[in-house]
Amino acid sequence: MLPYKELARLDKLIHEPARLAVLTALSACTLAEFLFLQELTGLTKGNLSSHLTKLEKGGLVVIDKHFLRKKIPQTTVRITADGRAAVERHWKQLQSIYQTIQQQGAHSPQNSR
């Protein structure tokens, strides 16, 4: 049996490309500045902010807004333990699905002609 239905069941909070990029980047570091994530992903400030808010509501990241030298705003983001586990699980699911498709081909034997 091919795993195409599993693709539809992937966690949509994580699977959205921009959020997957952010979580994957954060999983490789302790924390990241907002502007670094913006440059890394190519997202606009508003778009990145919207995605980060969704990830924060899902408990996958923590956003910290503070001021440097009492006047320069800075936003940092870090992935939570739940976020790290979720993104690792997501990549493993994608790899498993891909490997199964590669091993079995695009069509099951009963449907190929």
Q: What pLDDT band is residue 106 in, cutting at 50, 70 and 90? A: low
The domains of the chain, with CATH numbers, are 12-101 (1.10.10.10)
Task: Give the residue ranges of DSSP H helices in 1-113.
Answer: 4-8, 12-15, 17-27, 34-41, 45-57, 81-104
Residue 4 CB neighbours (<10 A): 11
Which helix (H) or strand (E) covers residue 64, if one does? strand 61-68
Give the pLDDT confidence score for residue 30 in this predicted structure.
86
Query: pLDDT tens for residues 62-74?
Result: 999 999 888 899 9
Give the pLDDT confidence score for residue 7 in this predicted structure.
86
- What pTM, to 2 d.p., does this model score? 0.85
Give the pLDDT confidence score for residue 85 in this predicted structure.
97
